[in-house]
Structure 1
Amino acid sequence: MVEWHLYIPQSRMGIDDLVLRAQTAEASGFDGVAFLDHLETPMAPASPIWEAMTTATWVAARTERLRIGHLVLCDPFRAPAVLAKQAVTLAEASGGRFDLGLGSGSMPDELAKFGFGTATGKQRVAALEQTLIALKGYWAGDDAQQPQPSRPIPLLLGGRGPRMLELVRQYADWWNLPATYVQELPKLLPAIGAARASVQQMVGFIGRNADGDEVADKSRRRWGHLGPGLVCGRADELIAYFARLRDQGAQRFYIWFADFGAPESIAEFGETVIAAFPN
């Protein structure tokens, strides 16, 4: 069994557009939805982007079944005590549907621009471990914040460096492999311990009535820089592709549509690709 989550970067569209995509995903067999966490749109800083936790809360309130999360929250943006409180609040408000996705921060220039320091990658990973330790303390024990979680909050860590994989082994329930490194899944999987593996994948979905060459060409113009992180195909081709990743050990897919998640693409993908995988 695999899980299917819709990845929707909350940029270049309105809040109502995000809700529509999440609700379409929920009606089409997706198991969850995830957002990104940046203060400006990567590679397009002039494009508006909505704040990550607020967006997730708003969408959680307008869905009933979907798990809600992020790929991934940026550790430097939030003090651990605040993050712990936010996570518990959203987990309880959503009926336990929140997954806490965390990363050490992937854009040093953004961190410096908005006053979050100039730490090296090694220093940011070390700080992330301190956050993980603090979260455990805030959620349990004599000195824990109140209220404590009524059920465990699943923790997902993203990244592929040796130190990050060590944190995955020690602390995480899920590990996410970024789209650009999808071909490394078999090599990295033994390093994650008991954590479950998820894969982020950009999809140029060619619908029933679409011109395949046109969809593929447009997808590659927009997202070709992702290399193997972009896959284009019709439903039968994508079924075979994701079956191979499942057989390699992936247990969750974060689907990132090359057409920015047009509702019709989400619905047809659910009806054809997701429906081909047994629950």
Structure 2
Amino acid sequence: MAEWFLYLPQSRMGVDDLVQRARAAEASGFDGVAFLDHVETPMAPDMPIWEAMTVATWVAAHTERLRIGHLVLCDAFRRPALLAKQAVTLAEASGGRFELGLGAGSMPDELAKFEFGTASAVQRVEALGTTLAKIKRYWGQTEGPEPVQVPTPSHPIPVLLAGTGPRMLKLVAEHADWWNLPATKVNELARYLPAIGAARPSVQQMVAFVRAGDDRDAVIDKGRRRFGHLGPGFVGGGADELLAYFAGLEQAGAQRFYVWFADFAAVESIEEFGATVVARAC
């Protein structure tokens, strides 16, 4: 049975709005919530955005059941020793609900602008591999030159990696519990499954959800204007249509869905989607 996460970029809204949406997701049957990790909002640098680990901690403190994660933390933003300590602390504080989602960084201009370096894509993936190996040693899971940090995790901390390049997929097979396929490639899931080893596959999906009583064409057209650039990663429709669509993704191998709402996760959409799609899919 597939899991359902709300993908909730922490831009365009206040921190209280994020908590409200996370609580709505928890009450509506979602399994978790995931945030993004950028210093400025992608494609909208003038739009305010909140720091990823702080937001995750705050939302964890205001929920009881939801698992908390990211799509994904940028490796270059944090030193491995600090990230290992942050992950253990949040996992402990949340009762084991934190998952460590990591990526190599998707916006080199942002990295350069805020002095996180000018490494190439290949160099960033290599650095991510080093980070993953060090974190395991800091957690006392493998042997190496790094000292074991105290305390070590008292709860398992699942590792999620995102990306589709061959070097990244090699890291997925070696280190990851979960692997996420970005929305733009959701129709290529079967192509990548042989390369991810024992990692469990998830997909990110933008949804223009037509609630009961909505004008179907208007909702889908508005969503497409905003997010049509995602290509196959954008889908619109009512509950029955989306239920069938996600069932198809599950049959293709997806074990988790990161649902990204085109209306910026209106509480009413979260609640109705939970009642008419998530509940019926379980």
TM score, norm. by length of structure 1:
0.99
Matched, 1:240 2:244: yes
Superposition deviation, residue 190 in structure 1: 1.2
Q: How does 1:146-225 map to 2 (within 5 A)?
A: 146-225=150-229
RMSD: 0.7
Q: How does 1:118-129 map to 2 (within 5 A)?
A: 118-129=118-129
2:234 to 230, 240, 243: 230
Question: Which SS does the other structure have where 1:273 is aligned?
Answer: helix
Question: Which SS does the other structure have where 2:115 is aligned?
Answer: coil
Report the AA paired with residue 125 of structure 1.
Answer: V
Report the AA paired with residue 204 of structure 1.
Answer: A
Aligned match of 1:277: 281
Gapped runs of 5+ residues in structure 1? none
- CA distance in structure 1 between the partners assigned to 2:216 and 2:269 by the alignment: 14
Report the AA paired with residue 255 of structure 2.
Answer: Q
Superposition deviation, residue 151 in structure 1: 2.1
Aligned match of 2:63: 63
- The percentage of aligned residue pairs carrying the same residue is 72
- CA distance in structure 2 between the partners assigned to 1:175 and 1:209 by the alignment: 36
Superposition deviation, residue 265 in structure 1: 0.1
Superposition deviation, residue 277 in structure 1: 1.4
Matched, 1:27 2:7: no
Question: Which SS does the other structure have where 2:48 is aligned?
Answer: coil
User: What's the CA shift string for 1:96-139, capped at 9, x where partnerless?
Assistant: 00000000000000000000111000000000000000000000
Runs (4 or more) in structure 1 with deviation over 3 Å come to none
- CA distance in structure 2 between the partners assigned to 1:147 and 1:33 by the alignment: 26
Superposition deviation, residue 10 in structure 1: 0.2
Aligned match of 1:106: 106
Gapped runs of 5+ residues in structure 2? none
- CA distance in structure 1 between the partners assigned to 2:274 and 2:231 by the alignment: 24
Question: Which SS does the other structure have where 1:250 is aligned?
Answer: coil
Aligned match of 2:137: 137
- CA distance in structure 2 between the partners assigned to 1:40 and 1:139 by the alignment: 31
Matched, 1:117 2:122: no
